[in-house]
Amino acid sequence: MGRLVLMPYNSGQHWILAVINPWDDSVLYFNPLENDPGEDFQQLIMLVLNNWKLLVGRGITKRRNCKTLIQTARCPIQQGNVQCGYFVLGFMREITLNVDGLTLLQNKTYYIEAELNLVRQEWTTYVMRFIQY
């Protein structure tokens, strides 16, 4: 597997994560609410992949139906309505900190509150570095 691109995406009301392997036109779609990718998301993925290919000198994707590129991945499911951002941060954390992060993430069915609190704490610590008093 080559380098992966982690692309958090907010449709306006909900966060999801796309893990893109531009070398083989594959996309893993992680949604903590288990919804299917919408048409706007599919179009965005095609735009991202085609722009990347233009940058590196490869031919653009000819497929009209982007669903063939996007594979819905299993991931922890959120129970509330407002935790999706923390879930997506947790997904990215697991993928980047573990050698087999994608496999670990797809085999996990939920996050315990302590895991979400760790993500919240790390995010707060990071953001606080940019806030001047």
3-state helix, strand, coil in the chain (%, to 5): 45, 15, 40
Question: Residue 108 CA to chain centroid, in angstroms?
Answer: 15
Question: In the chain, where are the structural domains located?
Answer: 5-128
Per-residue pLDDT of the chain (133 residues; tens, 9 = 90+): 458 889 999 988 899 999 998 888 889 999 999 888 888 888 888 888 888 888 887 665 655 555 457 889 999 999 877 889 999 999 999 998 888 888 888 888 888 899 999 999 999 999 999 997 7
Q: CATH number for 5-128: choose from 3.90.180.10, 2.60.120.10, 1.10.10.60, 3.40.395.10.
A: 3.40.395.10
pLDDT at position 50 = 84
Q: Are 74 and 68 in contact (CB under 8 A)?
A: no
3 state SS of 97: helix
CA dihedral 105, 109, 112, 113 (to 10 degrees): 90
- Kindly report whether the global pTM for this prediction surpasses the value 0.95: no
User: What tokens does 19 get?
Assistant: 């893990």
